[in-house]
């Protein structure tokens, strides 16, 4: 196999790996175009010269930034961070119009600022749920905030409340001020009745999980010199 053949084989392997991971498709496309160009060349030197004098010379760097932005857009969208997603979308469109935009990283500062706003909101939601539990269990003052209705269906917010769906719905209705009086005072303990129906399954899973672990105490003895090895002794 010639050197150009080996180079094409290497680039093909890289392209296939990028396609397989599903998040580097822009980079995979650059490698595909590069392979097509290389196939028209007789030597590696000829291929490198053609690449250097074509749009493909800077294309890998542009594709890398575009793929990175797309992956972060996906994460922001899945977590309901719409404002963060918008920052990345606007940057992606700028790069599509001018590849030189990849050298301006101010968008990351703006995205981080927006992300911090969301994280602060998550803290607000978690604290609100904590106040709700304190109201239920200790009869503390009920703290209400109608904004919960705006975020209640976002998975990340739902994950902050370790309770059943019915208890979560009651929490939302109570703190938003939409619950009837009898719903507000309904004991949280009633939700345990739902757990009782799968009690045996939970206990069985717990026994299986714990059987995979063993707790031991071990004494560790240091070596006498730098070339020695540590020794270990299990304490019964």
pLDDT digits (tens, 9 = 90+) for 50-77: 999 999 999 999 999 999 999 999 999 8
Q: Which residue has the higher pLDDT, 231 or 30?
A: 30
Mean pLDDT of 122-132: 93
Please give the pLDDT value at position 206: 74
Bridge partners of residue 13, in order along the sequence = none
Rounded percentage of the chain residues whose pLDDT exceeds 70: 88
Instruction: Decide if pLDDT at 211 tops 80.
Output: no
Q: Is residue 8 a contact partner of residue 40, using CB atoms and an 8 Å limit? A: no
Mean pLDDT of 190-196: 59
Count CB-CB contacts under 10 A for residue 180: 10
Mean pLDDT of 98-109: 93
Please give the pLDDT value at position 186: 53
Closest among 130, 138, 187, 185 to 161, alpha carbons compared: 130
Please give the pLDDT value at position 154: 87
Please give the pLDDT value at position 114: 93
Residue 189, C-beta contacts closer than 8 angstroms, at least 6 positions apart: none
- Using alpha carbons, list the distances in angstroms from residue 166 to 70, 133, 141, 218: 36, 15, 22, 46
Q: Which two tokens stand for residue 144?
A: 């209400």
Query: For the segment 221-232, what is each residue's pLDDT rounded down to a tens digit?
Result: 777 777 778 777
- State the average pLDDT for the chain: 86
Burial readout 4-42 (b: 16 or more C-beta within 10 A, e: otherwise): beebbeebeebbeebeeeeebebbbbbbeebbeebeebe
Instruction: Decide if pLDDT at 167 tops 70.
Output: yes
Instruction: Decide if pLDDT at 115 tops 80.
Output: yes
Please give the pLDDT value at position 222: 76
Closest among 202, 203, 171 to 184, alpha carbons compared: 171
Residue 235 pLDDT class (50, 70, 90 cuts)? low
Instruction: Decide if pLDDT at 202 tops 90.
Output: no
Pairwise CA distance, residues 185 & 204, whole Å: 34
Pairwise CA distance, residues 124 & 130, whole Å: 10
Q: Is residue 174 a contact partner of residue 161, using CB atoms and an 8 Å limit? A: no
């Amino acid at each position: 196999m010639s050197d150009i053949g080996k180079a094409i084989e290497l680039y093909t392997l890289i392209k296939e790996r990028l396609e397989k991971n599903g998040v580097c498709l822009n980079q995979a496309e650059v490698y595909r175009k590069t392979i097509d160009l290389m196939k028209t060349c007789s030597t590696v030197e000829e291929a490198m010269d053609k690449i250097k004098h074509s749009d493909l010379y800077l294309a890998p760097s542009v594709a890398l930034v575009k793929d990175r932005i797309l992956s972060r857009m996906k994460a922001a969208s899945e977590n309901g961070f719409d404002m963060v997603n918008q920052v990345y979308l606007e940057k992606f469109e700028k790069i599509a119009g001018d590849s030189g935009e990849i050298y301006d990283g101010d968008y990351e500062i703006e995205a981080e600022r927006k992300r911090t706003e969301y994280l602060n909101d998550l803290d607000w939601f978690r604290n609100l749920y904590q106040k709700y539990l304190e109201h239920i269990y200790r009869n503390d003052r009920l703290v209400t905030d109608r904004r919960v209705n705006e975020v209640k269906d976002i998975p990340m917010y739902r994950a902050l409340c370790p309770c059943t769906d019915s208890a979560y719905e009651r929490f939302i209705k109570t703190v938003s001020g939409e619950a009837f009086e009898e719903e507000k005072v309904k004991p949280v303990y009633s939700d345990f009745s739902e757990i009782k129906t799968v009690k045996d399954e939970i206990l069985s899973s717990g026994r299986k999980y714990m059987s995979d672990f063993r707790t031991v105490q071990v004494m560790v003895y240091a070596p006498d010199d730098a070339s020695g090895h540590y020794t270990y002794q299990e304490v019964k």
